Amino acid sequence: MRTIIIGDVHGCIDELNQLLDKVEYSPKVDRLVFVGDLIDRGPNPVAVLKLARIFEAECVLGNHEEKALRWKQGRNVQVSPERKEEWKSFTDADWDYIRAMPLYLELPMNWWVVHGGCRPGVPVARQNPKEIVRLRYIKLANMSMASIFDIKPEDVGIKYTYWADMWQGPERVIYGHQVWMEGGPRVTAQAWTAGIDTGCVFGGELTAMVMDDNCTAP
C-alpha cells in the first residue's frame, strides 16, 4: 500500500483529478492523505470535499477549515460575502467531514502530517492547536508564533525564523500552509520536514508526496 499525501488543494478540483491520475491513485489499494485547506479561494471546493469523502481520504485540519467551523458555530468571523455563500453550499456530510479532521496524522516510520507547523522542541502530539494549523514563523526573542503581518522581509533570520529551519525532530513532519512555488516542494536537511504546498490556487502546481509501504519517500 502506498501513502499519497497531497498539498493544499483550495478548491482546485481539475488539478486534483489530474494529479490523482498522474500518480495512478487506486482507492482500494492506496492511502490518500491531505494536508488541509481543501476549501476556499479556488473554483470548486464542494467538489473537492465530495471527492475526499467518496474516497474516504484522511485530511488534517487546515486554517481555512478551522475558520469555516468557527463561522458555522455562529462565532464572529471576518470573511467576504462570497466565501460565506460558498460555505452555505456545503452539505451536512461536508460539515461532518470537516469537523472530524484531526490536528495531525501519524504515519509509519515517524512521519507526521500537519497543516501549519510545529514549535521546535515540542512533540507533535503536544503542539498548541492554534499554532499547528497556522504556524509559519517563530519570533526568536521568545520562541512564540509570529504573525506574518508583523514580519518585514529584512527581519527574517534576525528577529524571526521559519519554524522548519529550527525543527530537529525526532518526528519528521509533512506540512502545507506555506507556499513554495519556485523550485517546488521544500525539504529541509536530513528531511526533518517537507513542505508540499506549491501554490496551485495561485498559479503554481498541486504536489503529491508518494511514499511506499514503509512510508519511505521514493
pLDDT tens sequence across 182-205: 888 999 878 899 999 999 999 999
List residues bridging with 32 in a β-sheet: 4
Least confident of 38-42, 61-65, 93-97, 183-187: 183-187
Chain position carrying cell 481539475: 14
**218 has a pLDDT exceeding 70:** no
Residues 6 or more apart whose Cβ sits within 8 Å of residue 194: 172, 173, 174, 175, 185, 186, 187, 188, 209, 217
**209 has a pLDDT exceeding 70:** yes
Q: Does residue 129 have a cis peptide bond before it, meaning omega lies within 30 degrees of 0?
A: no
Mean pLDDT of 12-35: 97
Residue 132 neighbours by CB distance under 10 Å:
26
What confidence score (pLDDT) does residue 217 get? 58
List residues bridging with 211 in a β-sheet: 3
CB 2 within 8 A of CB 213: yes
The residue that leads in pLDDT, 157 or 214, is 157
- 101 residue type, one letter: M
CB 8 within 8 A of CB 201: yes
Cell (9 digits) for 100 = 472530524
What confidence score (pLDDT) does residue 98 get? 98
Q: CA-based diameter of the chain, in Å?
A: 49
What confidence score (pLDDT) does residue 158 get? 81
Q: How far apart are alpha carbons 142 and 103 in whole angstroms?
A: 24
CB 45 within 8 A of CB 86: yes
pLDDT digits (tens, 9 = 90+) for 160-185: 889 999 999 999 999 999 999 988 89
pLDDT digits (tens, 9 = 90+) for 67-94: 999 999 999 899 999 999 999 999 999 9
pLDDT averaged over every residue in the chain: 93
CB 38 within 8 A of CB 13: no
Confidence of residue 215 (pLDDT cuts 50, 70, 90): low
